[in-house]
Structure 1
Protein backbone atom coordinates (compact mmCIF):
# COMPACT_ATOMS: atom_id res chain seq x y z
CA UNK A 1 0.00 0.00 0.00
CA UNK A 2 1.42 3.38 -1.01
CA UNK A 3 1.92 6.00 1.71
CA UNK A 4 -0.87 8.54 1.81
CA UNK A 5 -0.16 12.17 1.06
CA UNK A 6 -0.93 14.78 3.70
CA UNK A 7 -4.32 16.47 3.35
CA UNK A 8 -4.30 19.85 1.64
CA UNK A 9 -7.45 21.90 1.08
CA UNK A 10 -8.71 21.98 -2.49
CA UNK A 11 -7.22 24.87 -4.37
CA UNK A 12 -4.37 25.36 -1.91
CA UNK A 13 -0.98 26.06 -3.44
CA UNK A 14 1.60 23.39 -2.71
CA UNK A 15 4.89 23.75 -4.59
CA UNK A 16 6.12 20.52 -6.11
CA UNK A 17 9.15 19.04 -4.42
CA UNK A 18 8.86 21.28 -1.33
CA UNK A 19 8.23 19.45 1.94
CA UNK A 20 8.57 20.45 5.55
CA UNK A 21 11.50 18.95 7.42
CA UNK A 22 9.08 17.54 10.01
CA UNK A 23 7.33 15.51 7.28
CA UNK A 24 10.64 14.06 6.16
CA UNK A 25 11.76 13.29 9.73
CA UNK A 26 8.42 11.74 10.69
CA UNK A 27 8.45 9.66 7.52
CA UNK A 28 11.85 8.29 8.51
CA UNK A 29 11.24 7.85 12.24
CA UNK A 30 7.66 6.56 12.34
CA UNK A 31 8.36 3.15 10.75
CA UNK A 32 11.32 2.57 13.09
CA UNK A 33 9.38 3.65 16.19
CA UNK A 34 6.35 1.60 15.16
CA UNK A 35 8.45 -1.52 14.64
CA UNK A 36 10.61 -1.20 17.75
CA UNK A 37 8.32 0.51 20.25
CA UNK A 38 4.82 0.54 18.77
CA UNK A 39 4.56 4.33 19.09
CA UNK A 40 4.66 7.25 16.67
CA UNK A 41 6.27 10.67 16.60
CA UNK A 42 2.78 12.15 16.85
CA UNK A 43 2.32 10.54 20.29
CA UNK A 44 5.78 11.67 21.40
CA UNK A 45 5.14 15.21 20.17
CA UNK A 46 1.77 15.42 21.92
CA UNK A 47 2.90 13.77 25.15
CA UNK A 48 3.06 17.02 27.15
CA UNK A 49 -0.61 17.69 26.40
CA UNK A 50 -1.64 14.10 27.10
CA UNK A 51 0.26 13.77 30.38
CA UNK A 52 -0.78 17.21 31.58
CA UNK A 53 1.19 19.80 33.51
CA UNK A 54 1.67 17.56 36.54
CA UNK A 55 3.53 14.81 34.66
CA UNK A 56 4.80 16.34 31.41
CA UNK A 57 8.27 17.09 32.78
CA UNK A 58 8.83 13.78 34.60
CA UNK A 59 7.39 11.16 32.20
CA UNK A 60 8.11 9.84 28.73
CA UNK A 61 6.30 7.13 26.74
CA UNK A 62 8.69 4.27 26.01
CA UNK A 63 6.75 1.65 24.06
CA UNK A 64 3.36 0.10 23.47
CA UNK A 65 3.05 -3.68 23.60
CA UNK A 66 0.17 -4.74 21.36
CA UNK A 67 -0.99 -8.30 22.13
CA UNK A 68 -2.47 -10.22 19.21
CA UNK A 69 -5.42 -12.53 19.40
CA UNK A 70 -6.26 -14.96 16.62
CA UNK A 71 -9.95 -15.52 16.03
CA UNK A 72 -10.78 -19.25 16.13
CA UNK A 73 -13.65 -18.89 13.65
CA UNK A 74 -12.06 -16.75 10.94
CA UNK A 75 -8.37 -17.33 11.64
CA UNK A 76 -7.61 -13.61 11.34
CA UNK A 77 -5.67 -11.74 13.96
CA UNK A 78 -7.15 -8.75 15.74
CA UNK A 79 -5.46 -6.12 17.80
CA UNK A 80 -6.44 -5.81 21.41
CA UNK A 81 -5.78 -2.75 23.55
CA UNK A 82 -2.10 -2.57 24.42
CA UNK A 83 0.06 -1.81 27.42
CA UNK A 84 1.88 1.52 27.38
CA UNK A 85 5.22 1.56 29.16
CA UNK A 86 5.99 4.97 30.65
CA UNK A 87 9.34 6.03 32.13
CA UNK A 88 8.87 8.20 35.21
CA UNK A 89 11.27 9.99 37.54
CA UNK A 90 11.64 8.48 41.01
CA UNK A 91 8.91 9.08 43.56
CA UNK A 92 6.58 10.76 41.06
CA UNK A 93 5.80 7.28 39.75
CA UNK A 94 3.56 6.68 42.78
CA UNK A 95 1.47 9.77 41.96
CA UNK A 96 1.33 8.70 38.30
CA UNK A 97 0.05 5.27 39.34
CA UNK A 98 -2.84 6.92 41.19
CA UNK A 99 -3.91 8.74 38.02
CA UNK A 100 -3.53 5.75 35.71
CA UNK A 101 -7.24 5.61 34.82
CA UNK A 102 -7.36 9.25 33.77
CA UNK A 103 -4.14 8.86 31.79
CA UNK A 104 -5.50 5.82 29.93
CA UNK A 105 -8.62 7.82 29.03
CA UNK A 106 -6.52 10.72 27.72
CA UNK A 107 -4.36 8.40 25.62
CA UNK A 108 -7.39 6.63 24.17
CA UNK A 109 -8.96 10.01 23.46
CA UNK A 110 -5.79 10.98 21.60
CA UNK A 111 -5.90 7.82 19.47
CA UNK A 112 -9.68 8.00 19.00
CA UNK A 113 -10.22 4.34 19.90
CA UNK A 114 -9.43 2.12 22.91
CA UNK A 115 -5.76 1.61 22.09
CA UNK A 116 -4.48 1.26 25.66
CA UNK A 117 -6.08 -0.68 28.50
CA UNK A 118 -3.35 -0.27 31.10
CA UNK A 119 -0.09 1.51 31.84
CA UNK A 120 3.19 0.00 33.00
CA UNK A 121 5.36 2.47 34.91
CA UNK A 122 9.14 2.12 34.93
CA UNK A 123 11.15 4.25 37.35
CA UNK A 124 14.15 5.81 35.66
CA UNK A 125 15.54 9.30 35.08
CA UNK A 126 13.65 11.20 32.41
CA UNK A 127 14.93 14.75 32.74
CA UNK A 128 18.28 15.37 31.07
CA UNK A 129 21.23 15.83 33.36
CA UNK A 130 22.48 19.42 33.22
CA UNK A 131 26.17 19.29 32.56
CA UNK A 132 28.00 22.49 33.14
CA UNK A 133 30.45 23.28 30.40
CA UNK A 134 33.55 25.34 30.77
CA UNK A 135 33.61 28.39 28.56
CA UNK A 136 36.05 28.03 25.68
CA UNK A 137 39.50 29.52 26.08
CA UNK A 138 39.89 32.95 24.52
CA UNK A 139 41.44 32.97 21.08
CA UNK A 140 44.92 34.38 20.57
CA UNK A 141 47.02 35.17 17.54
CA UNK A 142 45.77 34.68 13.99
CA UNK A 143 42.39 33.05 14.91
CA UNK A 144 41.53 35.99 17.20
CA UNK A 145 42.38 38.54 14.49
CA UNK A 146 40.39 36.55 11.91
CA UNK A 147 37.31 36.43 14.18
CA UNK A 148 37.60 40.15 14.93
CA UNK A 149 37.73 40.91 11.19
CA UNK A 150 34.64 38.76 10.56
CA UNK A 151 32.54 40.48 13.24
CA UNK A 152 33.91 44.04 12.83
CA UNK A 153 31.03 45.36 10.70
CA UNK A 154 28.19 43.99 12.85
CA UNK A 155 26.38 46.88 14.52
CA UNK A 156 24.06 45.00 16.89
CA UNK A 157 26.08 44.35 20.07
CA UNK A 158 24.01 41.34 21.14
CA UNK A 159 24.42 39.65 17.77
CA UNK A 160 28.11 40.51 17.68
CA UNK A 161 28.65 39.00 21.16
CA UNK A 162 26.76 35.83 20.22
CA UNK A 163 28.72 35.39 17.00
CA UNK A 164 31.98 36.04 18.85
CA UNK A 165 31.12 33.30 21.38
CA UNK A 166 30.23 30.94 18.54
CA UNK A 167 33.37 31.78 16.61
CA UNK A 168 35.52 31.32 19.72
CA UNK A 169 34.03 27.89 20.32
CA UNK A 170 34.41 26.80 16.68
CA UNK A 171 37.86 28.22 16.01
CA UNK A 172 39.18 27.16 19.40
CA UNK A 173 38.37 23.47 18.93
CA UNK A 174 41.31 21.10 18.79
CA UNK A 175 41.44 19.23 15.53
Structure 2
Protein backbone atom coordinates (compact mmCIF):
# COMPACT_ATOMS: atom_id res chain seq x y z
CA UNK A 1 0.00 0.00 0.00
CA UNK A 2 1.49 3.31 -1.05
CA UNK A 3 0.73 6.46 0.79
CA UNK A 4 -0.33 9.53 -1.13
CA UNK A 5 1.81 12.63 -0.72
CA UNK A 6 0.13 15.23 1.52
CA UNK A 7 -1.80 17.99 -0.19
CA UNK A 8 -0.53 21.56 0.17
CA UNK A 9 -3.28 22.38 2.71
CA UNK A 10 -2.34 19.37 4.84
CA UNK A 11 1.34 20.16 5.10
CA UNK A 12 2.49 21.65 8.35
CA UNK A 13 4.43 24.88 8.19
CA UNK A 14 7.64 24.67 10.14
CA UNK A 15 10.09 27.37 11.04
CA UNK A 16 9.59 31.08 10.66
CA UNK A 17 7.15 32.03 7.92
CA UNK A 18 5.26 35.12 6.92
CA UNK A 19 1.93 35.73 8.62
CA UNK A 20 0.48 36.24 5.15
CA UNK A 21 0.72 32.51 4.45
CA UNK A 22 -1.40 31.57 7.43
CA UNK A 23 -3.77 34.50 6.91
CA UNK A 24 -4.25 33.52 3.28
CA UNK A 25 -5.43 30.05 4.32
CA UNK A 26 -8.06 31.61 6.58
CA UNK A 27 -9.25 34.43 4.32
CA UNK A 28 -9.17 32.73 0.93
CA UNK A 29 -12.43 30.78 1.38
CA UNK A 30 -14.22 33.87 2.69
CA UNK A 31 -13.00 36.23 -0.01
CA UNK A 32 -13.48 33.52 -2.64
CA UNK A 33 -17.22 33.51 -1.99
CA UNK A 34 -17.27 37.20 -2.90
CA UNK A 35 -15.28 36.80 -6.11
CA UNK A 36 -11.96 37.89 -4.63
CA UNK A 37 -9.17 35.37 -5.15
CA UNK A 38 -7.58 36.68 -1.97
CA UNK A 39 -8.03 39.74 0.19
CA UNK A 40 -5.47 41.66 -1.83
CA UNK A 41 -8.00 43.82 -3.70
CA UNK A 42 -9.62 44.93 -0.46
CA UNK A 43 -6.27 45.56 1.22
CA UNK A 44 -4.74 47.33 -1.79
CA UNK A 45 -7.90 49.32 -2.62
CA UNK A 46 -6.41 52.71 -1.59
CA UNK A 47 -3.34 52.09 -3.75
CA UNK A 48 -5.48 51.05 -6.73
CA UNK A 49 -8.04 53.87 -6.78
CA UNK A 50 -6.26 56.51 -4.70
CA UNK A 51 -6.81 57.59 -1.12
CA UNK A 52 -9.50 60.19 -2.00
CA UNK A 53 -11.76 57.60 -3.65
CA UNK A 54 -10.91 54.86 -1.14
CA UNK A 55 -11.98 57.09 1.75
CA UNK A 56 -15.58 57.00 0.45
CA UNK A 57 -15.74 53.50 -1.09
CA UNK A 58 -15.12 49.84 -0.36
CA UNK A 59 -15.08 46.92 -2.84
CA UNK A 60 -17.72 44.37 -1.85
CA UNK A 61 -17.51 41.61 -4.47
CA UNK A 62 -16.76 40.76 -8.08
CA UNK A 63 -19.50 38.81 -9.81
CA UNK A 64 -18.27 36.88 -12.84
CA UNK A 65 -20.38 35.22 -15.54
CA UNK A 66 -20.76 31.46 -15.00
CA UNK A 67 -17.52 29.53 -15.55
CA UNK A 68 -15.64 32.73 -16.45
CA UNK A 69 -12.97 34.83 -14.77
CA UNK A 70 -13.27 37.83 -17.09
CA UNK A 71 -15.95 40.41 -17.74
CA UNK A 72 -17.03 40.67 -14.13
CA UNK A 73 -19.07 43.29 -12.33
CA UNK A 74 -17.29 44.95 -9.42
CA UNK A 75 -19.73 45.86 -6.67
CA UNK A 76 -18.61 48.88 -4.67
CA UNK A 77 -20.16 50.21 -1.47
CA UNK A 78 -20.37 54.02 -1.55
CA UNK A 79 -20.79 56.19 1.54
CA UNK A 80 -22.95 58.93 -0.02
CA UNK A 81 -25.14 59.59 -3.04
CA UNK A 82 -23.12 62.68 -3.88
CA UNK A 83 -19.93 60.66 -4.15
CA UNK A 84 -21.74 57.95 -6.12
CA UNK A 85 -22.42 60.51 -8.85
CA UNK A 86 -18.75 61.41 -8.98
CA UNK A 87 -17.84 57.73 -9.02
CA UNK A 88 -19.99 57.22 -12.12
CA UNK A 89 -17.81 59.76 -13.91
CA UNK A 90 -14.68 57.96 -12.70
CA UNK A 91 -15.94 54.51 -13.72
CA UNK A 92 -13.71 54.07 -16.82
CA UNK A 93 -10.63 55.09 -14.83
CA UNK A 94 -11.45 52.76 -11.92
CA UNK A 95 -12.10 49.83 -14.27
CA UNK A 96 -8.79 50.50 -16.00
CA UNK A 97 -6.91 50.60 -12.68
CA UNK A 98 -8.56 47.44 -11.32
CA UNK A 99 -7.83 45.55 -14.54
CA UNK A 100 -4.26 46.82 -14.45
CA UNK A 101 -3.98 45.54 -10.90
CA UNK A 102 -5.21 42.06 -11.89
CA UNK A 103 -3.32 42.02 -15.20
CA UNK A 104 -6.31 40.94 -17.30
CA UNK A 105 -9.81 42.13 -18.23
CA UNK A 106 -11.34 41.06 -14.90
CA UNK A 107 -13.92 43.85 -14.60
CA UNK A 108 -16.07 45.48 -17.29
CA UNK A 109 -18.68 47.26 -15.14
CA UNK A 110 -19.18 48.77 -11.73
CA UNK A 111 -22.30 48.38 -9.61
CA UNK A 112 -22.68 50.96 -6.86
CA UNK A 113 -24.35 50.13 -3.55
CA UNK A 114 -25.15 52.85 -1.05
CA UNK A 115 -24.50 52.27 2.61
CA UNK A 116 -22.32 53.11 5.56
CA UNK A 117 -18.68 52.08 5.43
CA UNK A 118 -16.95 50.42 8.36
CA UNK A 119 -15.06 52.84 10.56
CA UNK A 120 -11.39 53.03 9.82
CA UNK A 121 -8.79 53.13 12.56
CA UNK A 122 -7.68 56.66 13.26
CA UNK A 123 -4.01 57.44 13.62
CA UNK A 124 -3.00 58.17 17.16
CA UNK A 125 -1.36 61.49 17.93
CA UNK A 126 2.29 61.35 18.93
CA UNK A 127 2.72 61.45 22.69
CA UNK A 128 3.96 64.73 24.10
CA UNK A 129 7.47 64.63 25.51
CA UNK A 130 7.72 64.83 29.28
CA UNK A 131 8.75 68.22 30.68
CA UNK A 132 12.44 68.82 31.15
CA UNK A 133 13.89 67.92 34.52
CA UNK A 134 15.13 70.91 36.57
CA UNK A 135 18.56 69.29 37.03
CA UNK A 136 18.77 68.65 33.28
CA UNK A 137 17.88 72.27 32.49
CA UNK A 138 20.52 73.46 34.96
CA UNK A 139 23.22 71.39 33.27
CA UNK A 140 22.28 72.65 29.80
CA UNK A 141 21.98 76.36 30.70
CA UNK A 142 25.41 77.20 29.18
CA UNK A 143 24.63 75.62 25.77
CA UNK A 144 24.01 78.49 23.33
CA UNK A 145 23.10 76.61 20.14
CA UNK A 146 19.28 76.07 20.26
CA UNK A 147 19.33 72.97 18.02
CA UNK A 148 22.06 71.33 20.10
CA UNK A 149 20.29 72.26 23.33
CA UNK A 150 17.03 70.72 22.10
CA UNK A 151 18.81 67.53 21.03
CA UNK A 152 20.59 67.25 24.38
CA UNK A 153 17.30 67.81 26.24
CA UNK A 154 15.65 65.01 24.25
CA UNK A 155 18.59 62.73 24.99
CA UNK A 156 18.52 63.63 28.66
CA UNK A 157 14.75 63.03 28.93
CA UNK A 158 15.21 59.67 27.25
CA UNK A 159 17.98 58.65 29.63
CA UNK A 160 16.00 59.82 32.67
CA UNK A 161 12.91 57.91 31.50
CA UNK A 162 14.93 54.70 31.16
CA UNK A 163 16.54 54.74 34.52
Q: What's the TM-score bracket when you normalise by the shorter of the two chains?
A: 0.5 to 0.7
Unmatched 5+ stretches in structure 1: 5-14, 69-76, 131-154, 158-175
- Partners of 2:8 and 2:59 lie apart in 1 by 25
The TM-score with structure 1 as length reference comes to 0.57
The ranges of structure 1 where at least 4 consecutive aligned residues each deviate by more than 3 angstroms after the TM superposition are 77-80
Unmatched 5+ stretches in structure 2: 1-6, 122-159
1:86-165 equivalent positions in 2, closer than 5 A: 86-90=76-80, 91-128=82-119, 156=161
Q: Residues 55 and 78 of structure 1: is their aligned pair in 2 closer, same or farther, counting only changes over 3 Å? A: closer
Q: Residues 108 and 3 of structure 1: is their aligned pair in 2 closer, same or farther, counting only changes over 3 Å? A: farther
- Partners of 1:20 and 1:116 lie apart in 2 by 30
Larger helix fraction of residues:
2
Q: What is the RMSD computed on CA atoms of the aligned residues?
A: 2.5
Structure (1 or 2) with the larger CA radius of gyration: 2
The TM-score with structure 2 as length reference comes to 0.61
1:67–1:81 contact (8 Å) kept in structure 2 = yes
List per-residue Cα deviations over 1:98-146 (Å, max 9, x = no partner). 100000000000000000000001111115289xxxxxxxxxxxxxxxx
- Partners of 2:31 and 2:68 lie apart in 1 by 21
